Chain A
Amino acid sequence: DGGITQSPKYLFRKEGQNVTLSCEQNLNHDAMYWYRQDPGQGLRLIYYSQIVNDFQKGDIAEGYSVSREKKESFPLTVTSAQKNPTAFYLCASNPGSRSPLHFGNGTRLTVT
C-alpha cells in the first residue's frame, strides 16, 4: 500500500534540544509539505518542497529547518529557537500543483 509514514507517533523532548521528525512517502510524489496543527486552529504551513534539493518557507518557518535530499524523504528539524514547539505535526505530499494532499498520521511533539 502506498502512503506517507511519519515517525515516531509521540515524541518528548526537553527544552533547548533540537529534534528531527521523519516523513517518508512511497507515492512517487514530487511535492512534500510540513504543517503544524494546534488545538482550535487550522493547519499552518511550515515548509514545502516541490522538487528534490529545493524547498521554500511557509508561513511559520522560524525555528524550523528541512532538507530534501531524496524524493521520498522530507525530514523536519524543530530547533531550540522555536518558541512554542509543542504541537501536532503533519507531513503531506501530492503529485503536483492543485492535486489533493495525502497526509501522514502525524507526530505529536511535547517539549517540556
Chain B
Amino acid sequence: SQKIEQNSEALNIQEGKTATLTCNYTNYSPAYLQWYRQDPGRGPVFLLLIRENEKEKRKERLKVTFDTTLKQSLFHITASQPADSATYLCALPEIYNQGGKLIFGQGTELSVKP
C-alpha cells in the first residue's frame, strides 16, 4: 500500500533563508499531490496542489516540485519568516486519481528563527 515519508526531525532555519521540505512516497505515482500547513491546535490549511504532468508550481514565496522518477515532492519557502513556523503536511490520493481519500504524511515541523 502507498506510504508517505516526511522528515520527522524538525527543520530549524534562519530568517531570510530558503526552507526545503521533502515528501517521499513508496508505491505508485499519484495523479496529484497536495501540501498543507498546520499550526498547533488548529486544522490543516491547504497551500498548493501539483499534478503529475507539472514539474513545478509556485505561489508567492512557495514553490513545489514533483519528480515522479524519484517518487518525491519538494516544498520550498523562500525568504522565510518567523510567521512561516508551522508543521507542513503532504498528502496524495490513496488510489492514483481518486478524490476524497487522501493519505497524509506525518508532517515536518519548521521553525524559522529571527
Q: Residues of A with Cβ closer than 8 Å to B?
A: 4, 6, 31, 33, 35, 40-45, 48, 50, 58, 90, 92, 94, 96-106, 108
Contacts and interface: CB of A to CB of B under 8 A. Distances in A.
Interface string B30-62: 011010100001111110010000000000000
Interface of B: 4, 8, 31-32, 34, 36, 41-46, 49, 89, 91, 93, 97-107
B107 to A, nearest CB: 7
A31 B100 contact: yes
Contacts of B43: 4, 6, 90, 92, 103-106
Contacts of B101: 45, 48, 58
B99 A101 contact: no
A101 B107 contact: no
A33 B91 CA distance: 15
Contacts of B98: 97
A101 B46 contact: yes
A36 B75 CA distance: 24
A58 B31 CA distance: 21
Given A48-B100, A97-B100, A106 B41 contact: yes
Nearest to A48: B100
A98 to B, nearest CB: 4
A90 B89 CA distance: 14
A58 B102 CA distance: 10
